[in-house]
Structure 1
Amino acid sequence: MRFTLKQLSYFIAAGEARSITLASERVHISPPSISSAISQLESEFGVQLFFRHHAQGMSLTPAGERFLIAARDLLGHAQRLHDLAHDITSSVAGPLRVGTFRTFAPLIMPALFKDFLDQHPQVQMQFFEDDEFELVSKVRRAELDIAITYEQEGIDLQFERLALLPTYLLLSASHPLATRESLSLAELADQPFVLLDLPVSREYFQSRFDRLGLRMNVIARSAQPETVRSFVASGLGFSMLTSRPASRIASNGGKLAYIPMSDDTPPMKLGLVTAKNIRKTRAILAFEDHCRRRISTNDIPGMAPL
């Protein structure tokens, strides 16, 4: 169907006034515009809406009377949609789907989630964790409203940086070099490496070796950060990570050491990913503000300080 709500509103004004001239005065639109709208509606629906009386104005046909009732009802529904949209965008309520990179999801999300819902109990917040590639894909497909993850080059989404996370070397606390203040990757390159095997992450860690002309000697790999930590704590090998769990005890009870890298390694950029050119709800805007207050380079919930 090819008609507009504006045409319906002009028809309603004319139907209530029983005069195009009076309707024109009420809605501040020229009489020809109202006449044109009525003619287009009659043509579109194939019905005569008015009897035209040359000296006494106009009156609704029986079809026009029924059409007037339906038009009022339709415009009422349209207004309720407008009111609903206003409620969604002007109050912190409604659904909110947040995705987080799984390496730091168990660290930062519990505090962020609880504190946000304490402040905004009317938000129906859903939490998802995934790898970096999938998070970006889900934001692009509108399956997520916002994602907390690392910056990726070349994506067609909006990224707002919140914190810088330097890459560090992860060793067993009993490793001979675990007490060093810093280490270069070359000092460990001949030792077995435990790889966090996730899209984007594995390419990033491989690039650190390639940049220095070193070979990555992978002895074990896992998509679960805590599994990597347990392998390292057992003395199987070393690893590199960017998230820094506050606890230096692995799931298997082994102790860990976080050693800063002396190599010139650019830090990872942690931030918020959202779609471009969308009208954000109040819930999304409030969550963005919440993240800005809670996440910074030197203070990230659940993470050890630099």
Structure 2
Amino acid sequence: MKGFSYKQLRYIAAVASAGSIAGASEKLNLSASSIREALSDAESKIGAQLFVRSRAKGMRPTPEGQRFLGFAEPLFEAHELFEKKAAGIAHTQEREITIGILANASPIIMPRLIAELDRRGAVARYRIAELDSEALVDAVRAGAHLVGLGFNDFLHPSLTFVSLFRAQLHIALPRNHRLAEARSLSLHELAEEPYIFLNFPGARAYYSGLFDHHRITPNTRFVVDSTEMARRLVEGGFGYATFNMSPVGKPAPADAMIRVPLETDYWSPTFGMFYEAASASLRQVREIESAARAAWL
């Protein structure tokens, strides 16, 4: 016996769904004779009637018809999956997306951005470079990275900047600190506490300016080159730090560090995405920008 074609199975499933050959014909935009011929051929091959015909209820599958359609269902599902995958072949070849990001912001920003890109089906291998502000801008301008993620300082006029959020200043304290439950804090309240100073490009001038603005000399005990080291020292109870980047959501009960908003009128930089204006039409740039906007705006 010659097998059944996928087209023939679709025709018969359409009859069951529509309840008539005329309905299936309209649904598939085919002649009724083509559908009638496919149904007749199938019934001849299996030697059983697939539908009961009545004026009141139209065409309903017989027990044999129900079994027939049940056997066909996995084929329909497999075909639908095949269609989706085949349609995406041109887009799902592994691409390398190059993203430069401010080093201290990377652990907070990248997981959220990549999660949004993956949710949108952006299949890629990510090359992520963690740099200081000036090096990041230079790398994007030189074409070493497709886009950059950082603050709106050190920007060159040739770059397009997409604002994502304001980086609000806060105090990082050990969870068991006496002020950990405060709704907000001023630098004056911590003036005598041991301070952990971030000493890398961008942060060095920014946080020095913060204390100068409030006319306070911090009790600096540690000078560190990364936010990770500062966070570990805070968690260990060795002092407090000032940050302007924080994870989304409330801290987990097990977190050893608490973030408390800082009472200040000192300026807060804007964090965002930037790229060469000439790259605005590139599909990868549009994908990243769209995902970033969805994640933060």
Do 1:123 and 1:283's aligned partners in 2 also have CA atoms closer than 8 Å? no
Distance 1:183 1:121 in 2: 42
Deviations 1:166-219 (A, max 9, x none): 100111122222222111112212322102222111111111001111113321
Deviation of 1:144 (Å): 0.8
- Kindly indicate whether the alpha-carbon contact (under 8 Å) linking 1:92 and 1:282 is maintained by their aligned counterparts in 2: no
Deviation at 1:272, TM superposition (A): 0.6
After superposition, the C-alpha distances for 1:41-67 in whole angstroms (9 at most, x for unaligned) are xxxxxxxxxxxxxxxxxxxxxxxxxxx
- Conserved? CA contact 1:168–1:240, under 8 Å: yes
Q: Which range is displaced more, 197-206 or 98-107?
A: 98-107
Which whole-Å deviations, capped at 9, do the CAs of 1:26-84 have from their partners, x for residues lacking one? xxxxxxxxxxxxxxxxxxxxxxxxxxxxxxxxxxxxxxxxxxxxxxxxxxxxxxxxxxx
Q: What does residue 245 of structure 2 align with? A: 243
Once the two structures are superposed, the pairs formed by residues 12-91 of structure 1 within 5 Å of their partners are none
Q: Percent identity?
A: 22
Amino acid at match of 1:295: W
Question: Taking structure 1 as reference, are residues 218 and 248 closer, same or farther at Cα in structure 2, changes over 3 Å only?
Answer: farther
1:109-124, aligned counterparts within 5 Å? 109-124=110-125
Equivalent residues of 1:249, 1:256 under 8 A apart: no
- Paired with 2:92 and 2:244, the residues of 1 have a C-alpha distance of 33
- Residues 118 and 257 of structure 1: CA distance in aligned 2, closer, same or farther (over 3 Å): closer
Change (3 A) 1:248 1:220: farther
Give, in angstroms, the shift of residue 110 of structure 1. Answer: 2.2
The aligned amino acid for 1:183 is L
Equivalent residue, structure 2, for 1:77 = none
Q: Which residue of 2 aligns with 1:232?
A: 234
Q: Among 222, 225, 234, which residue is 2:224 paired with? A: 222
Q: Describe the shift of the 1:210–1:145 C-alpha distance in structure 2 as closer, same or farther (beyond 3 A).
A: same
**Who is 1:105 aligned against?**
106
Whether contact under 8 Å (2:186, 2:264) holds in the other structure is: yes
Task: Kindly indicate whether the alpha-carbon contact (under 8 Å) linking 1:167 and 1:268 is maintained by their aligned counterparts in 2.
Answer: no
Query: What CA RMSD, in Å, does the superposition of the two structures yield over aligned residues?
Result: 2.7
Match for residue 261 of structure 2?
A: 260
Secondary structure at 2:284 match in 1 = helix
Aligned to 1:284: 285
Mapped partners of 2:250, 2:109: distance in 1: 13
Please report how far the alpha carbon of residue 162 of structure 1 lies from its aligned counterpart in structure 2 after TM superposition: 0.8
Q: Which runs of 5 or more residues in structure 1 are unaligned?
A: 1-89, 297-306
Question: 1:293 and 1:279 mapped to 2: Cα distance?
Answer: 18
How many residues align? The count is: 205
Gap change, CA 1:118 and 1:260, over 3 Å in 2:
closer
TM-score after normalising by structure 2: 0.62
Alignment of 1:135-214 (within 5 A): 135-153=136-154, 155-156=156-157, 157-214=159-216
Q: CA deviation at 1:118?
A: 5.0
Q: Distance in 2 between matches of 1:164 and 1:221?
A: 26
Instruction: Give the SS at the match of 1:204.
Output: helix
Whether contact under 8 Å (2:196, 2:220) holds in the other structure is yes
Q: How does the TM-score come out when normalised to structure 1?
A: 0.60
Q: Distance in 2 between matches of 1:241 and 1:179?
A: 18
